[in-house]
Amino acid sequence: MPRVTRETARRRAPRPLARRAVGGLAGLLAGYAALAAGQLVAGFGRAEAGPVAVVGSAAVDLVPTPLKTWAIREFGSDDKRVLELGILAVLALLALALGVLATRWRLSGAAGVLAIGVVGAVAALSRPDSAGVTDTLPSLLGAAAGAVLLYLLVGPVYAGAYLPPWVWPGSFVRWRIRGATAPAGPRGTEGNPGGRSREDFEDGTEPGEDRTEPGEDGTEPGEDAAVPAPASVPWDRRHFVLLAAATAVGATAAGAAGRALAGGDIASAVASRDAIRLPRPGSPAHPVPAGARLHVPGLSPFTTPNKDFYRVDTALVVPHVDAGSWRLRIHGEGVREDVELSFAALLRRETVERDITLTCVSNEVGGPYVGNARWLGVPLAPLLREAGVRPPSRGGKADQLVARSVDGMTLGTPVEDVMDGRDALLAFGMNGEPLPFTHGFPVRMVVPGLYGYVSACKWIESIELTTFAAYDPYWVKRDWARKGPIKTSARIDTPKPLARPKAGTVTIAGVAWAQHRGIEKVEVRVDDGRWRPADLAAQDTRDTWRQWSIPWRASPGTHTLTVRATDGAGHRQTAKRAGTVPDGSSGWHSVVVTVD
């Protein structure tokens, strides 16, 4: 019978550092496998319920508004990638720690992995678009797979009790008894009755009792009794490497399979979009006046191409809705009978095409979250009227229209604004093509004059007529104002901040917007000089932005260029600065340049 002596144990067991490293690696592998298994399970259900997606989405919902504002400002549209990387980094650290822990307390490590799965499950249930219990399965089953794998992976280096003594006193008691009968028992037990000392593990002199499966440590079943204390964990490298490799390969395959399954759903949505032939608008937009487009290098184009159009939303997984199965439900206060519209039915209605500039309330002074597109859609007001809805000014009880998207987002719009004659649209076309998925395919709302967060619901699936008193939608619950008319703003596009133009004539140019009121005047000031009126491009409509430019005789030195706009209602922008929360930024945009 191979007697494991203290000496052989010392030789065969991994050194403490190596053991931790192996544990850490086991943790990372188990974590990777958990995520991959979760992705596989999510592939059978909703991609939105993937473990990283649910935690990320819950984080998006939960983070305080200032942090969210900061993230949008700091990372822009990359905020989602950054969040995902952050979550993966945290998970990797946790996995690493649990792996190391598991080399001592095998069950605790595995339980830790399960606990993370439970956090994921809770996050999944907290989502406004949660499909219920099935959404918890990716996190729970993924974590279960990870827990089992961690348990198995650390087997070869496992050198402790199943549970720490403070969790399960039994493991301590058993060890004490064993230690007491063991002549070569662990050092330091006398002076350390409260628990195992570090050295107890690190020198590999473990009581052989709480060990792994028989045989796994190289000893025979029943050998325990014959071996006093020092039977340690022989470091079965082959066992570990095989299991680790199998885990890595299996997890990668599971992850790929999960992605492929999710890809199937996406494919049908993509096919439904490819199949759409946009109707000729019953009421086309009038052509953009030639004078509305200035040709100044560095100036934002009048029409923002779809690929450059800003994107602001909370969707970590872009919804891919099949237009064929899409339905819009209109219901609530004042609706005679619930309306349900298919995409085909929507296209059969009178369609209109309009140029409308969209702006995000999170846009800082001088910021990028504004864009102008040609939208094709169906006017919302007649639809509502047919359903029996009356605006408050005509005695309607509902003053708020709550649009809900397939991802659970809610946006609240004043019914009065939607029905006051402006071109509030259910849009399905954007610059001549079906809406891109990132911009709300198959149908979204667009309401001229209102910030996106109170009007521009993407991936819309229902419209409820209610009151502002009765319901606070998503952003309002997070410190933003109930109503969000767009504030008059102007931005300098060129020269760029910190640019170094040559002395001589420099063209200062940019855009100004005050949707549904129109831009009347733009003025520019250099340093503390007088305000000079800029040349305004022709106005397309009062719902679109206006380009402007002004020549400047630049002299060498550092200069501050400032712009201000006056809207069609006669309101001129003041210097008073406001941040984005709660109802949009205000103040003059300035750019500092150094003329060489």
Overall size of the chain counted in residues: 596
Kindly tell me which of 312 and 346 has the beta carbon lying closer to ligand MTE.
312
Q: Could you say whether residue 300 binds ligand MTE (CB under 6 A)?
A: no
Binding piece for ligand MTE, criterion CB under 6 A, among 223-231, 402-410, 499-507, 531-539: 402-410
Cβ proximity of 22 and 87 under 8 Å: no
Backbone angles phi, psi at 379, to 5 degrees: -60, 140
CB atoms within 10 A of CB 342: 14
> At 100, is the secondary structure helix, strand, or coil?
helix
| Nearest in space to 456 (alpha carbons), one of 332, 360, 333 | 360
Pick from 162, 240, 309, 375 the residue near ligand MTE by CB under 6 A. Answer: 309
Nearer of residues 142 and 440 to Mo ion, judged by Cβ: 440
Out of ligand MTE, Mo ion, none, what residue 163 binds, judged by CB under 5 to 8 A for its kind, is none
Task: Report if residue 457 touches ligand MTE, rule: CB under 6 A.
Answer: yes
Candidate ranges 40-48, 261-269, 270-278, 405-413; the one touching ligand MTE (CB under 6 A): 405-413
State in angstroms the smallest separation of the CB of 363 from Mo ion.
8
Min dist. Cβ of residue 408 to ligand MTE (A): 8
Size of the site for ligand MTE (CB under 6 A): 19
Q: Three-state SS across 453-464?
A: HHCCCCCEEEEE
Asked if 314 interacts with ligand MTE (CB under 6 A), we say yes
Instruction: State the binding partner of 511 from Mo ion, ligand MTE, none, CB within 5 to 8 A by kind.
Output: none
Q: Count CA atoms closer than 13 A to 565's CA, side-chain side.
A: 32
Q: Is there binding between residue 31 and Mo ion (CB under 5 A)?
A: no
Residue type, 523: E
Q: Are 338 and 386 in contact (CB under 8 A)?
A: no
Taking CB under 6 A as the binding criterion, the range among 227-235, 265-273, 307-315, 571-579 that sits at the site for ligand MTE is: 307-315
409 sits near ligand MTE (criterion: CB under 6 A): yes
Q: At what angle do helices 16-44 and 79-102 cross, to 10 degrees?
A: 130
Q: Does 312 bind ligand MTE (CB under 6 A)?
A: yes
Exposure of 474 in the CB half-sphere (CA atoms within 13 A): 24
Exposed, middle or buried, 281 (CB in 10 Å: 0-12/13-18/19+)? Answer: middle
Q: How far is CA 474 from the centre of its chain?
A: 15
Residue 459 touches which of Mo ion, ligand MTE, none (Cβ within 5-8 Å per kind): ligand MTE
DSSP output for 323-357:
TTT-EEEEEETT-SS-EEEEHHHHHHS--EEEEEE
In this structure, are residues 341 and 328 in contact, taking their beta carbons and an 8 Å threshold?
yes
Side chain identity, residue 506: V
Q: Which helix (H) or strand (E) holds 11?
A: helix 6-12
Measure the N-to-C terminal CA separation of the chain; round to a whole number of Å: 88
SS3 state at 430: strand
In the complex with ligand MTE, which residue's Cβ is closer, 254 or 315?
Answer: 315
For residue 542, CA distances in Å to 146, 201, 448, 514, 569 come to 58, 76, 9, 8, 11
With CB under 5 A as the contact rule, the residue among 185, 452, 510, 587 that binds Mo ion is 452
- Interaction partner, residue 487 (ligand MTE, Mo ion, none; CB < 5-8 Å by kind): none
Q: Which does 428 bind (CB under 5 to 8 A by kind): ligand MTE, Mo ion, none?
A: none
Task: Determine the distance from the C-alpha atom of residue 91 to the mean position of all C-alpha atoms in its chain, rounded to a whole number.
Answer: 16
The nearest distance, CB 473 to Mo ion, in angstroms, is: 13
Identify which of residues 96 and 457 has a Cβ nearer to ligand MTE in the complex: 457
Q: In this structure, are residues 491 and 585 in contact, taking their beta carbons and an 8 Å threshold?
A: no
Rule CB under 6 A: say whether 439 interacts with ligand MTE.
yes
**Cβ neighbours for 189, distance < 8 A, ≥ 6 positions apart:** 176, 179, 197, 200
Q: Which stretch binds ligand MTE (CB under 6 A): 135-143, 403-411, 490-498, 512-520?
A: 403-411
Q: Which one among 240, 428, 453, 513 touches ligand MTE, defined by CB under 6 A?
A: 453
Cβ atoms < 10 Å from Cβ of 121 = 22
Distance in Å, CB of 309 to ligand MTE, minimum: 6
Q: Which partner, ligand MTE, Mo ion, none, binds residue 513 by CB below 5 to 8 Å per kind? A: none
Q: Convert residues 323-362 into a mask of x (bound to ligand MTE by CB under 6 A) and - (unbound).
A: -----------------------------------x-x--
Candidate residues 143, 145, 360, 419; the one interacting with Mo ion per rule CB under 5 A: 360
Give the Cα separation of 161 and 589 in Å (integer). Answer: 65
Determine the Cα–Cα distance for residues 249 and 242; give it in Å rounded to an integer.
Answer: 11
Select 175 or 451, whichever has its Cβ closest to ligand MTE.
451
Q: What is the C-alpha to C-alpha distance for residues 190 and 160, in angstroms, rounded to an integer?
A: 18
Q: How far apart are CB 347 and ligand MTE at their closest, in Å?
A: 21
Site residue total, Mo ion (CB under 5 A) = 5
Distance CA 509, CA 47 (A): 44
d(CA 361, CA 485): 9
User: Looking at 166-174, 453-461, 489-497, 582-590, which segment touches ligand MTE (CB under 6 A)?
Assistant: 453-461
What would the x/- binding string for ligand MTE be over residues 458 to 477, using CB under 6 A?
A: xx------------------
CB of 62 to ligand MTE, least distance (A): 15
Binding letters toward ligand MTE, positions 250-289, x by CB under 6 A: ----------------------------------------
Nearer Cβ to ligand MTE (456/554):
456
Q: Interaction with Mo ion in 264-323: which residues (CB under 5 A)? A: 312
Stretch that binds ligand MTE, among 129-137, 240-248, 404-412, 508-516 (CB under 6 A): 404-412
Radius of gyration, CA atoms only, the chain: 32
Report the residue from 230, 367, 452, 510 that binds ligand MTE according to the rule CB under 6 A. Answer: 452
Choices 185-193, 201-209, 294-302, 401-409; region in contact with ligand MTE by CB under 6 A: 401-409
Residues that bind Mo ion (CB under 5 A): 312, 360-361, 452-453
Catalog residues that contact ligand MTE under the rule CB under 6 A: 309-315, 358, 360, 405, 407, 409, 439, 452-453, 456-459
